[in-house]
């Protein structure tokens, strides 16, 4: 389900309100907006109706989201919008989500371009109720842009709106070079930190050709950047590269070999920023670790038997863990305020998944109640959505216990960091053949894996984890209950 755009109307009266001439004059003088009035005769009295110009705010797409990045605008300035229609794709801390509008109108002005970052609650665009209000909305957008302080995209923008009494602070453009540039060569809509005006095709072309639009001079109406401007800038950049020194060529070769530019400083993505905040938060929790060795011969045999039916090893481990948690509810509990803890009513097993640029934990909800085949199908669906960055918040924020498996990389053991708001996380190593002593005194070979659990010591104690791991080992070593 797509999110809904937050749209503010506090600074302009509702169009449904009919205002007499005296009160309308007072309203007009008290508002800094440029509203449009329509004259109406009713009962031989002349009244005025004021149309709406709304601010579109950056929505909060999850409880932990503080800022969002504009991935793409699905509509262009001037396009007509219908209630429930997707307008923009926003990258939250862990997913990309289509955001809808719940008002009809026209997308009058875009204040945060694609790739830009805005704080939750800050204005990202203006919505006009009618075509007549588009120009007024654009004027207000330009006024707001020029009167607010420009901030780096990676910093959190203040959520306050200074619509009626903006502070006139002028900041230099973010990407301004040290050399003085003649006024005639600066894009008119880029001066003073304002947004860049370019045609949709020019924006797409600039993205494909890796051209920075802030350095392109527009030749279209009112300095608008068009496709030929982008192509010309790309040609100049290509000529500069081809005439570079041998040292530059060696640097490019090194970059191609390693996949990264050595020595470069790269800012966190929204996902990496969320992971960073969570890891710092986890340091506040007193944790301890308990390890256990589990024989996996029977589980391996079961997996080979039902693998062709779409069952995954991840689903088998999640199911076994969920069944063990059902017998040890304290390990499935959580402490959030440091004063009490909750016995969670559902067993939701989150599983760590590495995706491009970070880590996310899709959640298998009610894992103890689903059969292994349904669980496997659900897991495949979650992984596909995670890699496409289409997970909904409830699909990655509702875990009560977490699994992290590095066994597929040959890692035999490791410790995992406890995610905030949960009681425990289990790190799973590779299953490997090992020489072991049998009960009759002989030496045999068995496949074994090492699991290490990190737990919140405010709620879970050593004996609790030991008992849980013993139950888990029994389920895995005799996995008949996993297929029921």
Q: How far apart are CA 376 and CA 364, in angstroms?
A: 10
DSSP letter string, 348-404? -EEE-EEETTEEE--EETTTTTS-HHHHHHHHHHHHHHHHTT---GGGTS--SEEEE
187 included as an active-site residue: no
10, burial (CB in 10 Å: exposed 0-12, middle 13-18, buried 19+) = exposed
Assigned token pair, 468: 């849980």
Beta-sheet strands, E only, within 18-172: 18-19, 37-42, 45-50, 53-57, 67-73, 80-81, 86-91, 96-100, 105-110, 117-119, 123-128
Element containing residue 434 per DSSP (H, E): strand 432-437
Give strand pairing partners of 68: 118
Which has the closest alpha carbon to 285: 421, 463, 401?
421
Q: What share of residues in the chain are helix, strand, coil (percent, to 5)?
A: 35, 25, 40
For residues 330 and 335, give the distance between their C-alpha atoms in angstroms, rounded to a whole number. Answer: 11
Question: What contacts 416, CB < 8 A, 6 or more positions away?
Answer: 352, 402, 404, 425, 426, 427, 452, 454
Q: Which of the following is catalytic: 6, 187, 328, 457? A: 457
Which residues have a catalytic role annotated? 457
């Amino acid at each position: 389900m797509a999110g809904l755009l937050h749209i503010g109307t506090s600074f302009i009266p509702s169009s449904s309100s009919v205002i007499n001439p005296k009160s309308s004059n007072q309203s007009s003088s008290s508002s800094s907006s440029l509203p449009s009035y329509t004259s109406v005769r009713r009962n031989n009295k002349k009244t005025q109706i004021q149309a709406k110009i709304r601010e579109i705010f950056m929505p909060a797409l999850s409880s932990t989201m503080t800022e969002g990045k504009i991935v793409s605008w699905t509509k262009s300035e001037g396009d007509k919008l219908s209630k429930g229609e997707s307008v923009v794709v926003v990258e939250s801390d862990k997913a990309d989500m289509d955001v809808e509008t719940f008002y009809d109108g026209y997308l009058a002005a875009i204040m945060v371009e694609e790739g830009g970052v805005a704080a939750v609650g800050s204005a990202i665009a203006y919505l006009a109720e009618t075509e007549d209000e588009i120009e007024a909305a654009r004027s207000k957008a330009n006024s707001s842009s020029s009167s607010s302080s420009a901030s780096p995209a990676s910093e959190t923008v203040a959520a306050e709106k200074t619509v009626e009494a903006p502070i006139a602070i002028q900041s230099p453009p973010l990407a301004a070079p040290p050399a003085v540039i003649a006024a005639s060569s600066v894009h008119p809509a880029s001066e003073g930190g304002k947004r860049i005006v370019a045609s949709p095709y020019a924006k797409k072309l600039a993205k494909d050709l890796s051209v920075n639009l802030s350095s392109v001079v527009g030749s279209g109406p009112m300095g608008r950047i068009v496709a030929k401007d982008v192509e010309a800038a790309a040609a100049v950049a290509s000529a500069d590269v081809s005439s570079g020194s041998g040292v530059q060529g060696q640097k490019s070769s090194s970059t191609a070999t390693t996949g990264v530019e050595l020595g470069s400083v790269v800012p966190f993505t929204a996902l990496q920023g969320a992971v960073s905040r969570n890891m710092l938060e986890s340091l506040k929790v007193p944790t301890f670790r308990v390890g256990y060795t589990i024989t996996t011969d029977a589980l391996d045999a079961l997996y080979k038997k039902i693998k062709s039916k779409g069952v995954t090893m991840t689903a088998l481990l999640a199911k076994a863990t969920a069944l063990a948690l059902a017998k040890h509810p304290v390990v499935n509990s959580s402490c959030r305020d440091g004063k009490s803890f909750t016995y969670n009513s559902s067993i939701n097993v989150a599983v760590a998944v590495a995706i491009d640029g970070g880590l996310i934990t899709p959640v298998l909800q009610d894992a103890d109640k689903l059969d292994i085949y349904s669980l496997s199908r659900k897991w495949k669906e979650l992984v596909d959505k995670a890699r496409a960055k289409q997970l909904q918040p409830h699909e990655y924020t509702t875990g009560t216990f977490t699994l992290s498996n590095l066994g597929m990389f040959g890692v035999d053991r490791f410790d995992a960091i406890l995610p905030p708001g949960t009681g425990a996380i289990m790190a799973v190593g590779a299953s490997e053949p090992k020489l072991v002593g049998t009960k009759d005194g002989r030496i045999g070979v068995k496949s074994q894996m090492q699991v290490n659990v990190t737990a919140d010591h405010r709620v879970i104690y050593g004996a609790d984890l030991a008992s849980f791991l013993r139950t888990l080992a029994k389920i895995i070593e005799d996995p008949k209950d996993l297929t029921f």
